[in-house]
């Protein structure tokens, strides 16, 4: 698959970028995408939630009232879960939500996500660029020249570019990531995928490799 390389002004440069069919034109696996996105979101969870159980509540352990003769239900101490201010039954405790996923399946998920974007014609290849200084208005102008203003975009750069990242940080629907850090969730979560010319080669090389 070939796509035209566009300049930062939104003009066709006349060059073509080759997107490997083994990465951008496979039979998509929805289940692999589901598992990879599920793992990504699970890994973002802190798991620091906590509710006190009855043995952790501060208070007297004295029986509130006598067992019989009151006409009401039996009651223990003020730490009982049935009393307001008491401990919680089976409350949340700190835990780790992370789980492992096969490397080959993660690769299939990324290829599948990129294939869906290619099928939707939601990929633009941009010439390699950088900003001299971090300025939000420069990034906004870039999106305007690419006719992507107001769209949720993911820009994939070939290497770490602080000025580009800082220029996009204040915009709510724009994300910048290195080609080596590209993940399934970010690809599926954007409306348009902007690939820098140098990032295309890295993605082709990285995802074309078969794990032994």
pLDDT tens sequence across 9-22: 999 999 999 999 99
Average pLDDT in the 24-51 region?
Answer: 96
Q: Are residues 61 and 107 in the same domain?
A: no
Q: Are residues 71 and 89 in the same domain?
A: yes
Which of 96, 129, 163 is the last residue in one of the domains? 96
Q: Are residues 88 and 117 in the same domain?
A: no
Q: Are residues 19 and 108 in the same domain?
A: yes
Q: Which burial class, exposed, middle or buried, applies to 74 when counting CB atoms under 10 A from its CB (0-12, 13-18, 19+)?
A: exposed
Distance, in Å, from the CA atom of 105 to the CA atom of 60, rounded to the nearest integer, reads: 55
Residue 86 above 60 pLDDT?
A: yes
Angle, helices 197-208 vs 103-119, to 10°: value is 140
Distance, in Å, from the CA atom of 107 to the CA atom of 116, rounded to the nearest integer, reads: 14
Q: Are residues 66 and 33 in the same domain?
A: no
Q: Are residues 156 and 134 in the same domain?
A: yes
Distance, in Å, from the CA atom of 128 to the CA atom of 137, rounded to the nearest integer, reads: 19
pLDDT band for position 211 (cuts 50, 70, 90): very low
Average pLDDT in the 145-171 region?
Answer: 94
Distance, in Å, from the CA atom of 64 to the CA atom of 134, rounded to the nearest integer, reads: 66
Q: Are residues 88 and 184 in the same domain?
A: no
For the chain, how many structural domains are there in total?
Answer: 2
- Quote the percentage of the chain above a pLDDT of 70: 98
Helices then strands, each counted (H, E), the chain: 7, 6
Residue 89 sits in which domain range?
47-96
Q: Are residues 85 and 161 in the same domain?
A: no
Contact 87, 57 (CB under 8 A): yes
Q: Are residues 73 and 84 in the same domain?
A: yes
Q: Are residues 77 and 110 in the same domain?
A: no
Residue 212 above 60 pLDDT?
A: no
Q: What is the DSSP string of 22-40?
A: HHHSS---HHHHHHHHHHH
pLDDT band for position 209 (cuts 50, 70, 90): low
Residue 210 above 70 pLDDT?
A: no
pLDDT band for position 208 (cuts 50, 70, 90): confident
Q: Are residues 65 and 155 in the same domain?
A: no
Contact 211, 108 (CB under 8 A): no
pLDDT of residue 108: 96
Q: Are residues 130 and 56 in the same domain?
A: no
Most distant CA pair in the chain: distance in Å? 93
Any idea what the CATH number is for the domain that residue 117 is in? 3.40.1370.10
Residue 69 above 50 pLDDT?
A: yes
pLDDT of residue 1: 85
């Amino acid at each position: 698959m070939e796509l035209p390389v566009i300049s930062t002004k939104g003009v066709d440069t006349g060059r073509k970028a080759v997107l490997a069919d083994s990465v951008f034109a496979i039979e998509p696996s929805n289940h692999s995408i589901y598992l990879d996105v599920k793992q990504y979101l699970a890994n973002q969870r802190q798991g620091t939630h906590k509710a006190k159980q009855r043995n952790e509540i501060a208070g007297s352990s004295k029986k509130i009232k006598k067992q019989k003769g009151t006409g009401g239900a039996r009651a223990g101490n003020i730490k009982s879960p049935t009393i307001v201010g008491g401990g919680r039954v089976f409350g949340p405790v700190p835990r780790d939500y992370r789980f492992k996923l096969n490397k080959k399946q993660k690769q299939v998920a990324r290829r599948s996500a990129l294939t869906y974007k290619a099928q939707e014609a939601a990929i633009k290849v941009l010439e390699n660029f950088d900003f001299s200084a971090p300025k939000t208005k420069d990034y906004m102008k870039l999106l305007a020249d690419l006719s992507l203003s107001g769209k949720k975009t993911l820009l994939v750069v070939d290497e770490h570019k602080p000025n580009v990242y800082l220029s996009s940080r204040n915009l709510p629907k724009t994300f910048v990531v290195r080609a080596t850090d590209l993940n399934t969730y970010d690809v599926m979560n954007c409306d348009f995928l902007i690939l820098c010319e140098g990032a295309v080669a890295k993605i082709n090389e990285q995802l074309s490799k078969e794990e032994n």
